[in-house]
């Protein structure tokens, strides 16, 4: 459902003290746990502020998340529709799976053969010392289904790293952002892709520009929507066959 | 109860008010009801929530103050200490003094007053020998604060921690003590202090009347009560602009700078819930203070209330 945003300021008379209270009604409903209703002005300020802060302090991942939420009003419905019109994507929207340490059977995934999605994913998590639980839950998306879409996008991000074979250093992140920018059209990905390279050395920039970015763009354009894959049911599938199925070209 | 929207809070508040009217003879197990921003909570819940708010914002407290008020809070605090006009030998209790802003200003002020005193003394002693001047200078130098002391009292460990670190970093050590304590029940004896200040703290106290009673108790006869707090703007145009800024910009600043929207939403709501100037004046008078007066700063965005124990 959509949040009804109103700027009405009802004056409520407190029966006890007769005080007049003025409230700023910025949205009448909390649509999901963690939802903070915001006015359009607040969203604009948040978008600008989070963009600046993310550039100033790249370790503020929460700012990148906020930027994604406040600027995704066009791209997210697009993604949701792509999911709705695809059988596997539609199932994901219905069943709302979450990728979390508590829902993943890490021991089983570790036991899978090398080259399988599950095994490589766990290897990626361990090598880069990251966990799927550190993804920020959405706060400023005013539609509960779209909030799930962006949550799914965040949780699938690590799988993108695995499929693209990119580590979590700045270079790897930028490459994944280029891929995601082409795939999702989220302004946050586009901005991240454009401004991320600013902090890289000249040598890395060269590799980026000549090999990695063209490959990421080609793969992104060729691949089907990455949110339409029910990854949790494909742990046994090999990374290569999944790449072929989606349409990601082998990494350089 | 975190995250309740204002709409629901209105209904809850009306319900809460009716319940309170029906009397506490119903004996609500959780305690009497009060407010946390625009939500209705029990007193115990409120104390807990406020503790958590300040625990969470402690490290970014000063940065946030500067961003939200564009540095103007420094001027307000300077004005408070100038109004106090402490002379060397004053014993100050700064309650809810957390990160030490008032305490440091007090020390600076007293130090400069003391220096001027010493200079004046030296000028009068110009017919003494060099030896005698050097001796008298030495003994006065060791008392650069002239026996003035400030006790910073705060209920929140994190805020005190930040304050202590700041003091170390800025080089304040003499005449400064840090005490963990509750404004509603101060760990001090009667008639102890010359001045009691509470800057931007009384809004967060759950029972303001108790805090005022305690203030009266620990002050010496002749002692002064000073309270610096956000208050009510009567000018309608300014009030609208202030509301717009408070509700639209401040929570965003909280999210971007401190990663904490909810604490700053609480802050702006709590300002709206706090009694206006005249009401606070009446409460201070009820506690037994005389010559109670207030001074509006920035058309009432902030007010300094003052009273004396006679």
Do the Cβ atoms of A53 and B256 come within 8 Å? yes
| pTM for the model | 0.78
In a domain, A201, yes or no: yes
In a domain, A23, yes or no: no
Q: Which of A224-238, B15-29, B172-186 is predicted most confidently?
A: B172-186
Q: In chain B, where does DSSP find H-type helix?
A: 6-22, 43-57, 61-69, 72-84, 101-124, 130-141, 157-170, 208-218, 236-244, 250-253, 261-273, 277-286
Q: How far is A232 from chain B (nearest CA, A)?
A: 32
3-state SS, residue B59: helix
Please tell me the predicted confidence (pLDDT) of residue B142: 64
Do the Cβ atoms of A25 and B247 come within 8 Å? no
Cβ–Cβ < 8 Å for B263, B56? yes
Please tell me the predicted confidence (pLDDT) of residue B28: 43
Q: What is the pLDDT of residues A172-209, one digit of tens each?
A: 888 888 999 998 889 988 888 888 787 778 888 887 78
- As beta bridge partners, residue B227 has B198, B305
Residue A211's pLDDT band, with cuts at 50, 70 and 90, is: confident
Distance CA B103, CA A8 (A): 42
Mean pLDDT of chain B: 87
Residue B140's pLDDT band, with cuts at 50, 70 and 90, is: low
In a domain, A173, yes or no: yes
Q: Which of A23-32, B122-131, B188-197 is predicted most confidently?
A: B188-197
Q: What is the pLDDT of residues A219-243, one digit of tens each?
A: 888 888 888 888 888 888 888 888 8
Cβ–Cβ < 8 Å for B305, B226? yes
Q: Which of B79, B110, B114 is nearest to B92 (CA)?
A: B110
Mean pLDDT of chain A: 82
Q: Does B274 touch chain A (CB under 8 A)?
A: no
Q: How far is A62 from chain B (nearest CA, A)?
A: 7
In a domain, A113, yes or no: no
| Number of domains present in the structure of chain A | 1
Q: From the CB of residue A207, how many other CB atoms can be counted at a distance below 10 Å?
A: 14
Do the Cβ atoms of B255 and A60 come within 8 Å? no
| Topology (CATH level 3) of domain B44-309 | Rossmann fold (3.40.50)
Strand order in the sheet with B91-95: B176-180, B149-154, B91-95, B193-199, B219-230, B302-308, B290-297
Residue A83 structural domain: 40-100+134-229+242-246
Segment A6-34 shows an average pLDDT of 47
Please tell me the predicted confidence (pLDDT) of residue B15: 41
In a domain, A189, yes or no: yes
Distance CA B234, CA B257 (A): 30
CB proximity under 8 Å: B 196-255 to A: 243, 247-249, 251-253, 255
Segment A79-98 shows an average pLDDT of 91
Sequence ranges of the domains in chain B:
44-309
């Amino acid at each position: 459902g959509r949040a009804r945003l109103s700027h009405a300021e009802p004056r409520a008379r407190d029966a006890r003290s007769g005080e007049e209270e003025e409230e700023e009604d910025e949205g009448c409903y909390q649509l999901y746990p963690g939802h903070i209703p915001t006015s359009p002005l607040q969203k604009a300020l948040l978008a600008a502020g989070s963009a600046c802060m993310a550039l100033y302090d790249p370790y503020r991942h929460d700012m990148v998340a906020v930027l994604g939420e406040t600027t995704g009003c066009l791209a997210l419905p697009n993604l949701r529709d792509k999911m709705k019109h695809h059988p596997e994507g539609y199932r994901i929207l219905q069943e709302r799976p979450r990728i979390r340490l508590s829902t993943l059977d890490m021991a089983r995934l570790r036991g899978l053969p090398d080259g399988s999605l599950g095994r490589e994913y766990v290897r990626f998590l361990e090598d880069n010392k990251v966990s799927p639980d550190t993804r920020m839950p959405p706060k400023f998306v005013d539609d509960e289904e779209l909030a799930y879409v962006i949550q799914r996008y965040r949780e699938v991000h690590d799988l993108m790293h695995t499929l693209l074979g990119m580590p979590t250093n700045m270079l790897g992140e930028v490459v994944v952002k280029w891929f995601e920018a082409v795939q999702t059209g989220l302004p946050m990905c586009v901005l991240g892709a454009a401004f991320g390279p600013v902090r890289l050395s000249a040598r890395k920039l060269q590799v980026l520009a000549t090999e990695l970015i063209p490959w990421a763009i080609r793969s992104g354009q060729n691949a089907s929507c990455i949110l339409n894959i029910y990854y949790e049911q494909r742990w046994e599938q090999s990374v290569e066959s999944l790449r072929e199925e989606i349409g990601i070209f082998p990494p350089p | 109860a975190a995250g309740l929207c204002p709409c629901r809070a209105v209904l809850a508040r009306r319900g809460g008010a009716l319940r309170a009217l029906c009397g506490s003879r119903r004996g609500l197990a959780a305690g009497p009801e009060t407010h946390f921003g625009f939500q209705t909570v029990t007193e115990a819940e409120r104390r807990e929530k406020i503790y958590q708010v300040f625990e969470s914002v402690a490290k970014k407290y000063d940065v946030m103050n500067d961003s939200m008020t564009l540095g103007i809070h420094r001027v307000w605090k300077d004005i408070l200490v100038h109004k106090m006009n402490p002379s060397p030998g004053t014993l100050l209790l700064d309650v809810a003094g957390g990160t030490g802003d008032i305490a440091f200003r007090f020390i600076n002020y007293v130090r400069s007053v003391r220096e001027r005193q010493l200079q004046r003394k030296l000028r009068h002693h110009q017919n003494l020998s060099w030896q005698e001047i050097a001796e008298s200078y030495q003994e006065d130098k060791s008392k650069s604060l002239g026996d003035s002391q400030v006790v910073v009292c705060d209920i929140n460990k994190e805020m005190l921690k930040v304050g202590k670190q700041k003091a170390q970093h800025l080089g304040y050590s003499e005449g400064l003590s840090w005490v963990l304590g509750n404004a509603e029940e101060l760990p001090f004896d009667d008639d102890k202090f010359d001045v009691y200040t509470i800057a931007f703290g009384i809004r967060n106290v759950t029972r303001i009347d108790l805090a005022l009673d305690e203030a009266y108790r620990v002050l010496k006869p002749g002692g002064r009560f000073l309270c610096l707090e956000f208050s009510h703007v009567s000018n309608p145009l300014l009030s609208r602009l202030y509301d717009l800024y408070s509700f639209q910009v401040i929570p965003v600043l909280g999210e971007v700078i401190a990663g904490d929207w909810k604490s700053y939403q609480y802050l702006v709501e709590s300002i709206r819930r706090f009694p206006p100037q005249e009401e606070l004046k009446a409460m201070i008078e009820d506690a037994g203070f005389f010559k109670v007066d207030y001074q509006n700063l920035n058309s009432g965005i902030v007010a300094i209330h003052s009273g004396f124990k006679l």
